[in-house]
Amino acid sequence: MAETHHKLALFKRAGRGSRQGNFDPKTAPAPGSAEQGEEWLIAYVDLITLLLALFVLLLSFATLNESKFRELAQSLSSVMRGGVPLVRLPVAIETDLPAGGPRAADAEEVARELRDKFAEQGISSLVLVEAVGDKVRLEIRDDVLFPVASAEVSERGAKLLDALAPTLNQGKYWISVEGHTDNVPIATDYFPSNWELSTARASNVVRRLVERKIEPRHLRAIGHADTRPVADNAAPEGRARNRRVNLMLQGGDESPF
């Protein structure tokens, strides 16, 4: 009888163990053991992943040194595979660009060089050179390039463009040729409005530059009509300033057009 009671007690204890997930005190990890404490690693890995995503996002807004970026990418890849960083992440993202904006600084330098060059050629009085952001603007009055109400490049204008071409070609610039007019309406068989006049003038300047061996894909022609005045059209002097052709020069290996 005592043996029967002993077996029944063992059966009940076994039943309680199965209902509680087959818990076995002999195989359960001891409190404070390494196996029981690994749960914190999940939160840690999530935090590291979020930090890496943040660094990648910050990097996407910066212009980095190519070799440094490659090293950092390899380091991130190593961490994601469970390794250790190959390079130390910087406290601040480093770039090769000066604080004032390097392209604007480059444009100022190019503008100075072009002014000196045109002064040597004796044409500085015909071309206004100015840095505008990351571009350089060459402004030429319309009476230097064209007869009145015409889009055909004059002899004087052709000589000026011929003088400019070697310098422009040497710089390998991307050049937007922009035609501008005053607000006096025009309506002829060739030019129903100032839009046609400004566009035709820009196109003919581009054609002359192409004839002087400037790469065609580095050029484009744009007509603005009277939509971008630089002076008051109410006065004759202002209208004369607004009638102009601008050559907008931009550097770089990739086309900005």
What single string gives the DSSP state of each residue in 10-37?
HHHHHHHHHHTTS--TTTSPPTT-TTGG
Q: What is the pLDDT of residues 102-135, one digit of tens each?
A: 466 789 999 999 999 999 999 999 999 999 999 9
The pTM (predicted TM-score) of the whole model is: 0.61
Mapped onto helix, strand or coil, the DSSP state of residue 186 is: coil
The pLDDT value recorded for residue 22 is 52
Q: What number of H helices and E strands is found in the chain?
A: 8, 5
Q: How much is the pLDDT for 45?
A: 77
Q: What is the CATH number of domain 102-250?
A: 3.30.1330.60
174-202 pLDDT per residue, tens: 999 999 999 999 999 999 999 999 999 99
d(CA 240, CA 49): 62
Work out the angle between the directed axes of helices 155-171 and 194-211 (0-180°, nearest 10): 60
What integer pLDDT is reported at residue 7 of this predicted model?
Answer: 46
Strands (E), 143-250: 174-180, 219-223, 244-250
> How far is it, in rounded angstroms, from Cα 26 to Cα 80?
37
pLDDT at 48: 83
Contact 101, 111 (CB under 8 A): no
**pLDDT for position 36:** 53
CB count in 10 Å sphere of residue 53: 11
Q: For the chain (length 257 residues), average pLDDT per consecutive 10?
A: 48 45 52 59 79 73 60 62 47 36 74 95 96 96 95 97 94 95 95 97 98 96 98 97 97 88
Domain assignments of the chain as residue spans, ordered by start: 2-80, 102-250
The reported pLDDT for the residue numbered 75 is: 63
> In the prediction, which pLDDT does 3 show?
52
